[in-house]
Amino acid sequence: MTMPDGWEMVVGLEVHTELKTNTKMFCGCANTFGADPNTNVCPICLGLPGSLPVLNVRAVELAMAIGTALHSTISPSTFHRKNYFYPDMPKDFQISQYDLPINAGGYLDLPDGSRVSIERAHLEEDTGKSTHLGGSGRIHGADRSLVDYNRSGVPLVEIVSGPDIRSSAQARTYAAELRGILIATGASDGRMEEGSMRIDANVSVRRSGEALGTRCEIKNLNSLRSLTRAIDFEAARQVELIEGGGTVRQETRHWDENLGSTSTMRVKEEADDYRYFREPDLVDLAPDQAWQDRVRDALKPMPAERRAALKGRLANPNPALLDALEVVIDLGLDSYVIAALDAGVEPDLAFARAANEIASDLDGVGNLSAESYVATLRMEQGGDLSATQAKSVLAEILANGGEPASVAQSKGFERLASGALGEVVARLIDENPDEWARYRAGDEKLAQFFIGQVMKLTKGQANGKDVIAELQTRR
């Protein structure tokens, strides 16, 4: 969306990412998604009387890694209690960093060349999860709610950007790039659909050149698509409101993906008095230089660097290739692609099989070595495997492991002897005289028709290039 003439939107994002630790922030309960309710709980994350928090070292290091990747200053920090009563919060306060966050300042450079400043990236604990019964299943109109504390105490880092974003597209790019960074640092799996990365957007509008307008906070945007749509909707709503003589009220708004609109969730109240004070059960955090250096040295290359490295391998990348490249960067599949390129695999193939086949079974990457990936692609490129067969071999290895040659053999994938292929092609020419005539007259699209038919008859065993060669000899 473009803003109406003379208007500008001002957006800052608060991204909450759950940290991919083994255990919760302050206790030894497993940090997992999808367990039966209230099975990953202990006295600490249930806030039982007498229990005390002890900080998870891995959460600290992941927070430091995020800060390092975002060019923040890793600083001595403290924990505070944010006090408010809410049933999904077992202690009725949240332990969070307040005036002294572990990561202060920083910036993120986007692929489009723009820079978004980072105000802070601090540690805090997640709350439990409520299910609402009766009514629509949303909180309003429900009769009663049920609380599961499995998520209570899961470590979060909240990354707060400056109000530097000027379009929904830029917001999307920022969120996507940040997601890549979170994955690259090992801090997060970036799975927005599971809530492991949640975005709140602060949106305001102003007439160009004027002071910042009143902002509204849109909560819990759980996909990049929601983010884009919600920002556009909200900016348009505010412009319309102001142009109609109204004023924007500072409030928290809820994005409804189905309605495609935002609505008031809660107005900032005078009663919002969180009585922050230092968490007396935790001590200060002051990572020394050696600790910071260890975290920095362990950091893998960030998306921007990897993107540049991969692009450097491509002479004239087409849009499809660039899309595949983004998927590869996003999912961290660079090593497969680089190994394939090094082995002389064509870029289109090297990127496509990673961006499609590996991407569709990420849980299986442990089963697929770069060597196996390269070997499979070389068999495909050399004609020993058809495209269908190569995909099938990769899927099998991702699912169950194995070596490409033996997997291909066990599946009965042998190159169709050229005599056998010739017979199939000859038969198809006989059965499809019209198509053959048009192909002979120069309609190259018909080649795909014949390849498709051959694949059908050979159950995918044939190699497309071999088919074309057979067609050519008969043309």
Partner 1 sequence: MRNVRDTARDVQNGDASALSVLEESLAQIRRRNEELNVFLHVDEDGARAAANAIDGRIARGENVGALAGVPVALKDNLCQTNIPTTCSSKILEGWRPPYNATVVDRLLAAGAIPVGKTNLDEFAMGSSTENSAFGPTRNPLDTSRVPGGSSGGSAAAVAADMTPLALGSDTGGSIRQPAALCGLIGVKPSYGLVSRYGLIAFASSLDQIGPLTKTVTDAAMALEVIAGHDPLDSTSLPEPSPSLVAHVEDGVAGKRIGVVRELIDGADADVVASVERAVEALKEAGATIIELSVPEFRLGLSAYYLIAPAEASSNLARFDGVRYGLRVDGDDVTSMMEATRTAGFGEEVKRRIMLGTYALSAGYYDAYYGQALKVRTLTIDAFRRAYHQADLLLGATTPSVAFEFGSKTADPMAMYLSDVFTIPSNLSGEPAISVPFGTGEAGLPIGVQLLGPGRSEGQLFAGARVLEIADGRP
Partner 2 sequence: MPGLKREDVAHVAKLARLTMSESELDKFTVQLGQVLDHASDMNALDLDGVVATAHPFGLINVVRDDEVRPGLDHDAVMAMAPDAQDGRFAVPRILGEAP
Binding flag, residue 144, partner 2 (CB under 8 A):
yes
- Of 48-56, 231-239, 242-250, 436-444, which part binds partner 1 (CB under 8 A)? 48-56
The pattern of x and - marking residues 23 through 42 that bind Zn ion according to CB under 5 A reads: ----x-x------------x
CA distances from 136 to 141, 254, 358 (A): 7, 15, 39
Whether the CB-CB separation of 60 and 153 falls below 8 Å is answered with no
Closer to partner 1 by CB, 50 or 442: give it: 50
Binding residues with partner 2: total (CB under 8 A) = 65
Closer to partner 1 by CB, 283 or 308: give it: 283
Tell me the C-alpha distance between 383 and 391, whole Å.
Answer: 13
Whether the CB-CB separation of 199 and 175 falls below 8 Å is answered with yes
Binding flag, residue 45, Zn ion (CB under 5 A):
yes
Binding flag, residue 158, partner 2 (CB under 8 A):
no
Nearest-approach distance from CB 90 to partner 1, in angstroms:
6
Tell me the C-alpha distance between 442 and 436, whole Å.
Answer: 10
Tell me the C-alpha distance between 472 and 468, whole Å.
Answer: 6
* Angle subtended at Cα 264 by Cα 258 and Cα 266, rounded to the nearest 5 degrees: 130
Closer to partner 1 by CB, 79 or 351: give it: 79
- Of 52-60, 66-74, 396-404, 465-473, which part binds partner 1 (CB under 8 A)? 52-60
Binding flag, residue 314, partner 1 (CB under 8 A):
no
Binding flag, residue 180, partner 2 (CB under 8 A):
no
Q: φ, ψ for residue 321 (rounded to 5)?
A: -65, -40
Whether the CB-CB separation of 110 and 116 falls below 8 Å is answered with yes
Range list of β-strands (E), 97-143: 103-104, 107-109, 115-125, 129-133
Tell me the C-alpha distance between 8 and 168, whole Å.
Answer: 11
Whether the CB-CB separation of 444 and 471 falls below 8 Å is answered with no
Closer to partner 1 by CB, 51 or 292: give it: 51
Distance of CA 89 to the CA centre of its chain: 27
- Of 13-21, 87-95, 190-198, 200-208, which part binds partner 1 (CB under 8 A)? 87-95
Q: Which residues pair with 93 in a beta bridge?
A: 83
Binding flag, residue 281, partner 1 (CB under 8 A):
yes
CA distances from 420 to 251, 292, 380, 417, 424 (A): 72, 65, 19, 5, 7
Q: Select from 93, 233, 373, 436 the one that contacts partner 1 (CB under 8 A).
A: 93
Contact partner, 139, from partner 2, Zn ion, partner 1, none, Cβ < 5-8 Å per class: partner 2
Binding flag, residue 154, Zn ion (CB under 5 A):
no
The pattern of x and - marking residues 107 through 146 that bind partner 1 according to CB under 8 A reads: --------------------------------------x-
Structure token digits, residue 411: 């599946």
Contact partner, 120, from Zn ion, partner 1, partner 2, none, Cβ < 5-8 Å per class: none
Tell me the C-alpha distance between 121 and 14, whole Å.
Answer: 9
Nearest-approach distance from CB 350 to partner 2, in angstroms:
36
Interstrand relation of 129-133 and 7-18 (parallel, antiparallel or unpaired): unpaired
Tell me the C-alpha distance between 391 and 382, whole Å.
Answer: 15
Binding residues with partner 1: total (CB under 8 A) = 29
Whether the CB-CB separation of 204 and 166 falls below 8 Å is answered with no
- Of 44-52, 224-232, 233-241, 431-439, which part binds partner 1 (CB under 8 A)? 44-52
Query: Amino acid identity, residue 269?
Result: E
Q: φ, ψ for residue 406 (rounded to 5)?
A: -70, -35
Closest CA to 55 of 23, 33, 14: 23
Binding flag, residue 100, partner 1 (CB under 8 A):
no
The pattern of x and - marking residues 48 through 67 that bind partner 2 according to CB under 8 A reads: ------xxxxxxx-------
Query: Amino acid identity, residue 164?
Result: D
Contact partner, 49, from Zn ion, partner 1, partner 2, none, Cβ < 5-8 Å per class: partner 1
Nearest-approach distance from CB 129 to partner 1, in angstroms:
14
Binding flag, residue 282, partner 1 (CB under 8 A):
yes
Tell me the C-alpha distance between 94 and 368, whole Å.
Answer: 42
Site for partner 1 in 142-171 (CB under 8 A): 145, 147
Binding flag, residue 363, partner 2 (CB under 8 A):
no
Q: Select from 149, 336, 351, 413 the one that contacts partner 2 (CB under 8 A).
A: 149
Nearest-approach distance from CB 43 to Zn ion, in angstroms:
7
To which residue do tokens 């490409």 refer? 404
The pattern of x and - marking residues 255 through 274 that bind partner 1 according to CB under 8 A reads: ------------------x-
Closer to Zn ion by CB, 43 or 76: give it: 43
Cβ neighbourhood burial of 190 (10 Å; 0-12, 13-18, 19+) = buried
Binding flag, residue 84, partner 2 (CB under 8 A):
yes
Binding flag, residue 395, partner 2 (CB under 8 A):
no
Which residues sit at the interface with partner 2, rule CB under 8 A? 21-23, 27-30, 36-43, 45-46, 54-60, 78, 84-89, 127, 130-134, 139, 142-149, 219, 252, 254, 265-266, 271-275, 277-278, 280, 282-287
- Interacting residues with Zn ion (CB under 5 A): 27, 29, 42, 44-45
